[in-house]
């Protein structure tokens, strides 16, 4: 087996560059905006789709690292971040709503993800569920309530094809995609996005804490207005609030130990 290099090949960082707590948006352009919610925000590095800023919350080092689109690049980010010492990850993303009652602008706090993608099959058989960490889910829910954000708890569909979600009819495998979408809906999936399954499966394997909070931009099951892509204040505040809750709880647990 090849050892991990000292400087990680893709994220371009080494031990000490980030702390334990990391936010993971897909879009590299969202990192600077998220970092503004930290104290002492600082740009660290950029390589390919991986942009990193660090800062502090309650005096603790935190980071935001973009994953790019999809599970392949996300799995690489999580692998390399775990190798340099991170152990708590929250995906901060956008998604499409999958249940008629969801209102664009509300949040989906993920308890798990449907593994409708190929990357995690390189890690665990498909029967293994992609689940979020209970402590992270609880912290996200508390933070959403503190921020007065409407939210729904549930599973996302983590898929490989954005256009397979939005224009399934034009795909040669249309009937397959439509039938499976119907099944995900009947099973109660709340939203569709592209990275959570990889984060959750790697979290299980490496015994690190993972979760995700997704802005519901539009509802595919109840067409109506979309929220603007840039309007992520509630989503980011909820993720940052959850990190603060986890930092405080971790400190108390360390003192009690």
Ligand X SMILES: O=P(O)(O)O[C@H]1O[C@H](CO)[C@@H](O)[C@H]1O
Ligand Y SMILES: O=c1cc[nH]c(=O)[nH]1
- How far is Cα 190 from Cα 181, in angstroms, rounded to an integer? 12
If we measure between CA atoms, which residue out of 199, 181, 200 comes closest to residue 191? 181
Interface residues with ligand Y (CB under 6 A) are 94-96, 162, 165, 192-194, 217
Q: How many other β-carbons are positioned within 10 Å of the β-carbon of residue 29?
A: 12
Of 60 and 193, CB closest to ligand Y: 193
- How far is Cα 164 from Cα 214, in angstroms, rounded to an integer? 20
Q: Which does 25 bind (CB under 5 to 8 A by kind): ligand X, ligand Y, none?
A: ligand X
Q: Which does 117 bind (CB under 5 to 8 A by kind): ligand Y, ligand X, none?
A: none
Least Cβ distance, residue 70 to ligand X (angstroms):
6
Of 31 and 62, CB closest to ligand X: 31
Between the alpha carbon of residue 7 and those of residues 45, 74, 76, 129, 202, the distances in Å are 12, 18, 14, 32, 20
Least Cβ distance, residue 95 to ligand Y (angstroms):
5
Least Cβ distance, residue 94 to ligand Y (angstroms):
4
Interface residues with ligand X (CB under 6 A) are 25-27, 69, 93-94, 162, 193-195
Least Cβ distance, residue 16 to ligand Y (angstroms):
33
Per-residue HEC secondary structure of 65-119 comes to: ECCCCCHHHHHHHHHHHHHCCCCEEEEEEEEEECCCCCCECEEEEEEEEEEECCH
Least Cβ distance, residue 193 to ligand X (angstroms):
4
Q: What is the total residue count of the chain? A: 257
Of 116 and 193, CB closest to ligand X: 193
Of 44 and 199, CB closest to ligand X: 199
Helices (H), 118-190: 134-146, 162-166, 174-186
Q: Which does 192 bind (CB under 5 to 8 A by kind): ligand Y, ligand X, none?
A: ligand Y
């Amino acid at each position: 087996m090849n050892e991990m290099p000292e400087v990680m090949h893709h994220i371009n960082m080494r031990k000490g560059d980030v702390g334990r707590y990391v936010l993971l948006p897909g879009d590299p352009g969202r990192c600077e905006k998220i970092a503004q919610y930290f104290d002492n925000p600082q740009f660290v590095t950029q390589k390919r789709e991986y942009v990193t800023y660090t800062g502090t919350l309650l005096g603790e080092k935190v980071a935001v690292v973009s994953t790019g689109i999809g599970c392949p690049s996300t799995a690489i980010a999580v692998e390399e971040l775990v190798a340099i010492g991170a152990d708590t990850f929250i995906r901060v993303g956008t998604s499409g709503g999958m249940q008629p009652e969801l209102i664009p602008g509300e949040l989906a706090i993920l308890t798990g993800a449907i593994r409708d993608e190929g990357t995690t099959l390189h890690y665990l058989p498909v029967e293994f569920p992609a689940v979020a960490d209970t402590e992270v889910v609880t912290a996200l829910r508390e933070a959403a309530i503190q921020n007065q954000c409407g939210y729904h708890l549930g599973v996302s569909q983590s898929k490989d094809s954005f256009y397979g979600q939005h224009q399934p009819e034009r795909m040669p495998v249309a009937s397959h995609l439509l039938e499976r979408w119907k099944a995900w809906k009947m099973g109660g999936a709340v939203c569709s996005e592209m990275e959570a399954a990889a984060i959750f499966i790697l979290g299980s394997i490496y015994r690190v804490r993972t979760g995700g909070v997704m802005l519901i931009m539009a509802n595919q099951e109840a067409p109506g207005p979309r929220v603007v892509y840039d309007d992520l204040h509630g989503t980011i505040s909820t993720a940052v609030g959850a990190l603060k809750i986890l930092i405080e709880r971790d400190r108390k647990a360390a003192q009690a130990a």
